[in-house]
Structure formats: structure tokens, C-alpha cells
Structure 1
Amino acid sequence: DQMSRVIEEARMVLPGIQALFGFQTIAVFNNRFERLPMHVQDCHLGALAFVVIAMALVMLPAAYHRLTQPGIVSRHTIEVSSISICCALAPLAAGVSLDVYVVLQMVTSQEGFSVAGGAASFVLLIGLWFIYPFISRRRHATHHSI
């Protein structure tokens, strides 16, 4: 049952990552992309690399399970799968945030605004995907221990 939930979580996240990856790869063929400053193009390549890492981590559970323990589900497989999906969110947040910076730079040509937008995106995603859940887990642990 736990493994089914882990795989379902991966299935929910993966299409979004794949769509983002598709848009990222298409962007380099846009005429405006080559006119961007080299550091902005480098940020886009960095974002692409982060998204590839996230994709690999999200797809790890299925490959790991099929290759290491086909036919059975161990506690270890569930832990590896759960950790890999959770870890995928950090590079995904970095990739999305770098691309927000690139898009804002392309639209506004204002470095400060673009950096602020990318940083705000990163803070929002890390806050919702990591900090809020950790605070909630700590709060629930405190209430259950009383």
C-alpha cells in the first residue's frame, strides 16, 4: 500500500517535470534566446540540468524496484523511493526558479527584478515543499507526545 502511494506521487510529479523539460529544450531554438546575455543562457542550461536531475530522481523508484526486488516490496525499497521523490523537489525548485529568472530577464531586461523573481520563486517552492511540511511534522509530533 505504501509503495502504491509512492509510485502515485511520482506519477503526479513526473508529467509536470517532463512538460517543463520539453519547454526548456524548445527555448534554445527561439531566436530571442541567442540574443540573451551569456550568463542568462548559462542559467537556462543550469535549470535544464536541475530538471534532468529531478526527473532522474522521480523515475528512480520504478527502476530501483524493478531491478533490485521485482515481485516484492521491501521496507528499504519504500524508503529509497520516498527519499528519491522528496529529494527531487530541491533540484526541481532550483530549475524552475532559474527559468523564472530567465523568463523575467527576457521579458523585462531588468536584472534586479529578474533576480528577485527567481529568488522569490525559490523561496516559495522550498517553503511550501520543505519548510512548511517540516514545521507541520514537528507540530504534530509535539501534539502527539503530550
Structure 2
Amino acid sequence: MSTPITGPGDPYAGLRNETPTERLDRNWVELLQELRVVQTGVQLLAGFLLTLPFQSRFDELDTFQRTVYVSVLLMAVIAIVLFVAPVGYHRALFQRRSKARLVRVGTRFAKAGLAAVGFVVVGAVLLVVDVVAGRVAGAVAAGGIGLLVTACWWLLPALAVRSVQAQHSGEAGSSREGAYPVP
């Protein structure tokens, strides 16, 4: 019988009945699945951005718009590099019994990639709305999208983590062994 994993911050401590190795394997698979979700979209966006200079209206962009374009393009490429980096890291550590390091570093790459994608999304909105509706409208739209990205990708998850931590610290003294946590 495997030894269940328990630890602070794990809402299902003792409920999965998995070994530390099984948990690391599951964490790695979950990380790869998350990367699959974002990687394709980022690659498509970067591909689209790469074609823009070859469009006839590109020459009409002013210095600000070209600067935003180059910045967005570079951030899209950086995001791709960050999202693919766990694969290279995995290849380097393959069969070296370093899954914990792989999951930890892969998670950092994914978080940095999300930050880069956030900049890409905001910058792309800034560029498009600036071209279509003007500089002020572009800045307002980019600011609004920036707030939305910040709220959805960082603020709400951070609040959820705090809520889960508070819930677990309140349950630490109770004897709810085997019970599922209340959402």
C-alpha cells in the first residue's frame, strides 16, 4: 500500500493515497496540460504578428505604433520560449530522478510565460485600438484589458490561495480525517 501524501496547503491531504513520486508525476502531467492550452494560442498570435510588416498599411504606422508592435512581437516570442522551456528542461533531466525540480522549475516557466502573454494581450489591444480608434481609445482599452488580465490571472488566484490557506488553518485543529473540504 502506498503512503499518502500530506502537507500544509494540500486540500486533499491523505485523500488521494498516492506516493510522492505519483504526485510529482500527476503534477507534471497537469502542468503540461496547462501549457498545451496556452501554447497554441500564443504561437498563433506570434505567427500573426510576424506577418504584419508585410501588409500594405504597415508603412503607415507611426513611431509609437511600431514600438508597440516590436515590443508585442518580442514578448510573444519570449512567451513561446518560456512555455516550451519545460520540454528542454525535461529532456536535460530525463531519467535523473529530478521530477520535483522539473515540476518546480516548469511551474516558474509557466508563470513567467503567463506574465509575458499578459503583456502581449495588452499590447496587441493597445496597437489595434490605437490604429483603429486613436491613441486615447487605445490607452483606455489596453488599461481595461490590463486590469482584467491582472484580476483574472493574478488577483483572483491569489485570493483563492489565501482563502484555501485560511480554511486549512481553521481545519487544522478539527478531526475531519477523510472528509472532503467544503468549497
Place the TM-score, normalised by the shorter chain, in its bin. Answer: over 0.9
Aligned to 1:18: 43
* Mapping for residues 29-68 of structure 1, pairs under 5 Å: 29-67=54-92
Deviation at 1:99?
1.1
Deviation at 1:8?
1.2
Q: Which runs of 4+ in 1 moved over 4 A?
A: none
Aligned to 1:86: 111
Aligned to 1:107: 132
Q: Give 1:123's match in structure 2, choosing from 147, 171, 174.
A: 147
Q: Give 1:96's match in structure 2, choosing from 112, 121, 132.
A: 121
Q: Distance in 2 between matches of 1:90 and 1:74?
A: 24
Q: Does the alignment pair 1:136 with 2:180? A: no
Q: Distance in 1 between matches of 2:106 and 2:114?
A: 13
Normalised by the length of structure 1, the TM-score is 0.94
Aligned to 2:12: none
Normalised by the length of structure 2, the TM-score is 0.75
Structure number with greater Rg is 2
Q: Distance in 2 between matches of 1:33 and 1:137?
A: 44
Q: Distance in 2 between matches of 1:132 and 1:29?
A: 39
Structure 2: unaligned runs, 5 residues or longer: 1-25, 171-183
Q: How many residues align?
A: 144
Deviation at 1:10?
1.0
Q: Distance in 2 between matches of 1:32 and 1:106?
A: 10
Q: Does the alignment pair 1:7 with 2:32? A: yes
Deviation at 1:103?
0.5
* Cα RMSD (Å): 1.1
Higher helix share goes to which structure? 1
Give 3-state SS (helix, strand or coil) of 2:54's partner: coil
